């Protein structure tokens, strides 16, 4: 395995500016709300003001009578349930029978303009029966009056329960020399991408439906539209314009997307639904409010003996990805350390709150915080350095976890040693003055899911098509979804790398289900790995044909040729060669435009027990971060001064994009620590706005030093693994543990707002525990 510090490639491994950058800096990139269609109507949604209510009847007569109103829809018109996971279809486009949270969609209208639409909605009359409000997941685990969904476990609001046990945890704790128990409590957080959701739909007289939407997963939207609207997929065309950020929040098929299409079908006119920021907050699907209890046991030397984990997860009103969340809160603790005994019980409970779902580093963030804080405590109890404890227990490369995850490449140890040196850890840990501290946090994440939501498990997860015509431009088609992370750039760069051409020859086409071969889209940090492999294969196929044509022109065997820059040349004498275009034109003489296709499917992974596929991935990323903080012990305010980010993403294929993902992940992870939270009182969200939902500002960003220490992954494209989600995870515990080093207080409740910091210091004083002489 080669070190990745030097790139053997012409493009890959360097800093490649985003191909669509010039369009974005000039405002020319086209997002869904930028689209206009002739005769387009405005679609508006009526949201439930009730947290939980039976909808006895709905009268839309007056709303329909408003001049300019073209359609008013209620839930009974398209009642087919859907959901991102095939096993938990519990959503409907518009509420049917019950409203389940404040913000649930209860009616929709298409009208000539916004004002008319709102007027119509104000005239919809409801006869409702208020039902008990369920907002505390602790109360939802046993039988309740009027559960939110009929499918809750045994009359409760439990949507999913996962119980796993590997090895013998009780026996391990019985012989443990050290053990700790930490309860972590996490407020919900949300993606807060800058582009509010928007959808444009148009049903045309040829019996087809076209839907443009701000989505991360055009393919899942395509399937949900087909299911709910009762149209075969081939009569629906899904187009993804530029997407202004997703982070998981645009990965479920969302009800408003279906409603917009339904309104287009009902009216025969194009319809646009654009969200207000408040709508975005109610749609949520963010990180779950969670409480987790973590017990960890080690022997006298600090070798991990067992994890015993319980998680109680507030799901909100729907399932969304929740079954996966419930598994991930357990199984994503299987790295980056070797855990010989493991027990997990996770329950996700429906509440009358906006649904939670998948958010960047889905399922791996909250549990990781608690584990890393627990390890920090253990290190202190054992009297060992937190780095040494982690080195001792690091999961080695080419190993198998107790739940049968196969780990291939891992540079976790290199991550640890790189940040230990760069941060000056040994000179700082427990040695900085009171109020200043350093902390270590580590992370581990899937590089795509081995068992995605798909038609059949054998189908490729990603397919890429290439077409080259006489102009020499290479059109690339794939349903991978660039939502800002730079996947279009990577796709173009891989194709250009393999074919030896300049990047400007390669044109990545807009995602359009009519022409884009299916790729499962941007979630689970799968794109680089899977699309990258598919793209490489598609390009290799073209390369073979071009080499053959060049060989003919040169009268030499193809095997004696290699790819040069914009030409094909003799390996032994690169001065003899054929320009790209000449080879291309020769190759086209019999076939016309050259096309090729590459696809990627994961190898089978995982054990045979129930839930064994959850968390299996073709590769895993690893991280070790150190944060340095400065705490104002009088006010509880603190500043994260610097983060050293040691990350193993295999070979970074676009350093600019990898850095961007890491810096952005640190920002987002920091938000969850510093003050981001979905502030509920009961079922009610108190801060559905960007003023009161506290995304960190430029001045809150720490200095970031990135240390990319991975090696080539054997199965990743050009050795690459993911860098989109894993980089978030380690941020949180690094800061939490740094706060401990600074002021001697363990924070197990996020966000860590200044009032909580101060309360923590008070508590320490009350307990009479000194820290660094204070």
Partner 1 sequence: MASPDRVSFRLNGQPVEPSCPPERILLDLLREELRLTGTKRGCDLGTCGCCTVLVDGRPTLSCLTLARLVDGRSVDTIEGLSPAQGLSPVQRSFVEHGATQCGFCTPGFVVTATALLRRNPHPSRAEIEGAIAGNLCRCTGYRKIVEAIEAAAGGR
Partner 2 sequence: MHLDPFELHRPTSVEEAVRLARELAGRCDYLAGGTDLLPNYKMHLNLRPHLIALGDVRELRGHSLDRVGAAEPLADLEADPEFRAAYPGVADALGEVATPLVRASGTLGGNLLVETRCFFFNQSYFWRSSLGFCLKADGDKCHVVPQKERCYATFSGDLAPAFLTLDAEVEVAGPSGRRRRPLSELYDAAGDGIRRLSLAPGELVVALHLPRAARGQRGRYKKLRVRPSFDFPELGVAVAGRWDERSVDRLSLAVGGVETYPRRFDELTSPLLGAPLTTDRVDELAEAVLRKVRPVHNTFLLPDYRRRMVAVYVRRALAEAREGGAAG
Binding footprint of partner 1 on the chain (CB under 8 A):
15, 17-18, 20-31, 33-34, 36, 191-196, 242-247, 274, 276-277, 483-486, 656-657, 659-660, 663-668, 689-691, 695, 697-699, 701, 704
Distance CA 472, CA 122 (A): 57
* Distance in Å, CB of 634 to partner 2, minimum: 5
Specify the residue for token string 């696809």.
Answer: 599
In whole angstroms, the minimum distance from the beta carbon of 23 to partner 2 comes to 24
- Comparing CB distances to partner 1, the nearer of 313 and 668 is 668
Alpha helices in 59-184 (DSSP H): 61-64, 114-122, 169-174
CB of 68 to partner 2, least distance (A): 15
Nearer to partner 1, 17 or 81 (CB): 17
49 binds, among partner 2, partner 1, none (CB under 5 to 8 A by kind): partner 2
Cβ distance to partner 1 smaller for residue 99 or 494: 494
C-beta of residue 497 within 8 angstroms of C-beta of residue 563: no
Partner from partner 2, partner 1, none contacting 152, C-beta within 5 to 8 A by type: none
In whole angstroms, the minimum distance from the beta carbon of 658 to partner 1 comes to 10
Q: From the list partner 2, partner 1, none, pick the one residue 244 interacts with, judged by a Cβ distance below 5 to 8 Å according to partner type.
A: partner 1
Q: Residue 231's binding partner, choosing from partner 2, partner 1, none, with beta-carbon cut-off 5 to 8 A by kind? A: none
Nearest approach in angstroms of CB 242 to partner 1 is: 6
Q: Which is nearer to partner 2, 208 or 759 (CB)?
A: 759
Q: Residue 727 and residue 708: Cα distance in Å, rounded?
A: 11
What residue 704 binds from partner 2, partner 1, none (CB within 5 to 8 A, per partner kind)? Answer: partner 1
26 contact choice in partner 1, partner 2, none (CB below 5 to 8 Å, kind-dependent): partner 1
634 binds, among partner 2, partner 1, none (CB under 5 to 8 A by kind): partner 2
**Residue 710 interacts with which of partner 1, partner 2, none, CB < 5 to 8 Å by class:** none
Residue nearer to partner 2 on the CB measure, 89 or 694: 694
Q: For residue 696, what are the CA distances in angstroms to 118, 192, 674?
A: 34, 11, 8
Query: Is the distance from CB of 677 to CB of 366 less than 8 angstroms?
Result: no
| Smallest separation (angstroms) from partner 1 to the CB of 490 | 13
47 binds, among partner 1, partner 2, none (CB under 5 to 8 A by kind): partner 2
Ramachandran sector of residue 103 (left: φ over 0; alpha: ψ -120 to 50; beta: rest): left
Distance in Å, CB of 276 to partner 2, minimum: 6
Q: Which helix (H) or strand (E) holds 350?
A: strand 341-350
Cβ-based nearer residue to partner 2, 132 or 604: 132
Query: Minimum distance from CB of 277 to partner 1 (Å)?
Result: 5
Hunting for tokens 């001697």 — which residue is that? Answer: 744
- Pairwise CA distance, residues 743 & 725, whole Å: 30
Residue 591 vs 697, nearer CB to partner 1: 697
How far does CA 553 lie from the centroid of its chain?
48
Residues forming the site for partner 2 (CB under 8 A): 47, 49-50, 102, 114-115, 276, 278, 634-636, 674-675, 679, 684, 686-688, 691-692, 694, 696-697, 699-700, 753-755, 758
Residues shown for the chain: 774
Based on C-alpha coordinates, what's the Rg of the chain?
27
Helix ranges (DSSP H) in 485-611: 487-499, 527-554, 580-588
| Distance from C-alpha of 406 to C-alpha of 613, rounded to nearest angstrom | 11
CA 200 to chain centre: 24
Neighbouring-strand partners of residue 708: 647
Spatial strand order of the sheet with 98-99 comes to 98-99, 53-59, 125-130
Percent helix, percent strand, percent coil in the chain, to nearest 5: 30, 25, 45
Q: How far is the CB of 745 from partner 1 (least distance, A)?
A: 27
Per the structure block, which two tokens stand in for 110? 């298409």
Give the C-alpha distances (Å, rounded to integers) separating 492 from 341, 528, 579, 623. 45, 12, 20, 28
Task: Determine the Cα–Cα distance for residues 707 and 623; give it in Å rounded to an integer.
Answer: 10
Q: Which is nearer to partner 1, 31 or 434 (CB)?
A: 31
Nearer to partner 1, 274 or 309 (CB): 274
Report cis status (omega within 30 of 0) of the bond before 574: no
Residue 166 contacts residue 402 (beta carbons within 8 Å): yes
With CB under 5 to 8 Å by kind, the binding choice for 50 among partner 1, partner 2, none is partner 2
Cβ closer to partner 1: 477 or 694? 694
By beta-carbon proximity to partner 1, the closer residue of 65 and 690 is 690
Q: Pick one of partner 1, partner 2, none as the site partner of residue 496 (Cβ within 5 to 8 A by kind).
A: none
CA 637 to chain centre: 30
Q: From the CB of 419, what's the least distance to partner 2, in Å?
A: 27
Q: Give the nearest distance from C-beta 723 to partner 1 in angstroms.
A: 13
């Amino acid at each position: 395995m080669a070190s990745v510090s030097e790139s053997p490639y012409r493009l890959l491994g360097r800093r490649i500016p985003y191909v669509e950058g010039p369009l974005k800096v000039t405002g020319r990139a086209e997002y869904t709300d930028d689209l206009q269609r002739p005769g387009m109507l405005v679609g508006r949604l009526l949201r439930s003001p009730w947290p939980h209510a039976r909808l006895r009847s709905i009268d839309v007569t007056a709303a329909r009578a408003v001049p300019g109103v073209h359609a008013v829809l209620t839930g009974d018109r398209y009642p087919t349930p859907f959901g991102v996971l095939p096993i938990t279809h519990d959503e409907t486009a518009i509420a049917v029978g019950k409203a389940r949270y404040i913000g649930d969609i209860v009616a929709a209208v298409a009208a000539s303009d916004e004002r008319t639409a709102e007027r119509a909605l104000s005239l919809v009359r409801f006869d409702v029966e208020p039902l008990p409000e369920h907002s505390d997941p602790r109360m939802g685990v046993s039988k309740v009056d009027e559960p939110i969904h009929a499918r809750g476990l045994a009359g409760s609001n439990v949507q999913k329960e996962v119980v796993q046990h590997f090895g013998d945890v009780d026996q391990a704790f019985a012989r443990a020399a050290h053990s700790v128990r930490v309860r972590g409590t996490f407020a919900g957080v949300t993606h807060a991408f800058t582009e509010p959701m928007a959808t444009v739909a148009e049903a045309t007289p040829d019996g087809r439906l076209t839907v443009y939407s701000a989505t991360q997963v055009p393919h899942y939207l395509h399937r949900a539209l087909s299911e709910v609207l009762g149209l075969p997929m081939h009569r629906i065309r899904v187009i993804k314009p530029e997407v202004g950020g997703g982070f998981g929040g645009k990965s479920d098929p969302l009800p408003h997307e279906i409603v917009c299409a339904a309104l287009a079908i009902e009216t025969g006119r194009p319809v646009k639904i654009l969200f207000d920021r408040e709508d975005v907050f109610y749609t949520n699907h963010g990180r779950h409010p969670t409480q987790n209890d973590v017990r960890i046991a080690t022997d006298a030397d600090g070798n991990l003996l067992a994890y015993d984990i319980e998680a109680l997860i507030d799901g909100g009103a729907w399932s969304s990805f929740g079954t996966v969340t419930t598994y991930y809160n357990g199984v994503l603790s299987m790295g980056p350390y070797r855990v010989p005994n493991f027990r997990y019980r996770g329950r996700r409970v429906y509440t009358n709150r906006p649904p939670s779902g998948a958010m960047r580093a889905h399922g791996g963030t909250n549990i990781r915080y608690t584990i890393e804080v627990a390890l920090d405590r253990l290190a202190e109890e054992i009297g060992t350095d937190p780095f040494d404890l982690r080195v001792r227990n690091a999961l080695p490369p080419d190993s198998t976890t107790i739940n049968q995850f196969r780990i291939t490449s891992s540079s976790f140890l290199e991550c640890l040693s790189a940040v230990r040196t760069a941060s000056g850890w040994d000179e700082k840990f427990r040695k900085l003055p009171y109020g200043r501290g350093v902390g270590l946090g580590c992370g581990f994440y899937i590089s795509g899911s081995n068992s995605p939501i798909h038609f059949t498990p054998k189908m490729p997860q990603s397919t890429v098509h290439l077409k080259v015509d006489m102009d020499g431009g290479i059109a690339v088609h794939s349903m991978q979804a660039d939502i800002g992370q730079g996947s279009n750039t990577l796709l173009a760069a891989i194709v250009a790398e393999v074919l030896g051409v300049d990047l400007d020859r390669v044109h990545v086409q807009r995602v359009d289900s009519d022409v884009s071969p299916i790729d499962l889209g941007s979630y689970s940090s799968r794109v680089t790995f899977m699309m990258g492999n598919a793209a490489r294969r598609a390009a290799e196929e073209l390369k073979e044909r071009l080499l053959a044509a060049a060989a003919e022109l040169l009268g030499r065997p193809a095997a004696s040729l290699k790819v040069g820059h914009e030409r094909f040349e003799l390996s032994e004498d690169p001065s003899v060669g054929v320009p790209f275009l000449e080879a291309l034109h020769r190759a086209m003489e019999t076939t016309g435009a050259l096309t090729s296709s590459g696809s990627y499917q994961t190898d089978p992974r995982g054990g045979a027990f129930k839930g064994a596929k959850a968390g299996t991935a073709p590769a895993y990323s690893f991280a070790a971060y150190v944060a340095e903080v400065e705490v104002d012990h009088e006010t509880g305010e603190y500043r994260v001064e610097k983060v050293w980010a040691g990350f193993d993403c295999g070979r970074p294929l676009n350093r600019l994009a990898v850095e961007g993902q890491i810096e952005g992940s640190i920002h987002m992870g920091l938000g969850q620590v510093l003050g981001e939270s979905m502030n509920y009182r009961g079922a009610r969200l108190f801060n559905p706005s960007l003023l009161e939902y506290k995304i960190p500002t430029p001045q809150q960003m720490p200095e970031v030093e990135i240390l990319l220490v991975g090696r080539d992954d054997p199965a990743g494209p050009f050795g690459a693994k993911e860098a989109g989600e894993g980089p978030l995870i380690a941020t949180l515990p690094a800061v939490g543990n740094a706060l401990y080093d600074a002021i001697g207080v363990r924070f197990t409740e996020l966000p860590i707002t200044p009032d909580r910091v101060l309360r923590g210091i008070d508590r320490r004083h009350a307990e009479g525990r000194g820290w660094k002489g204070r």
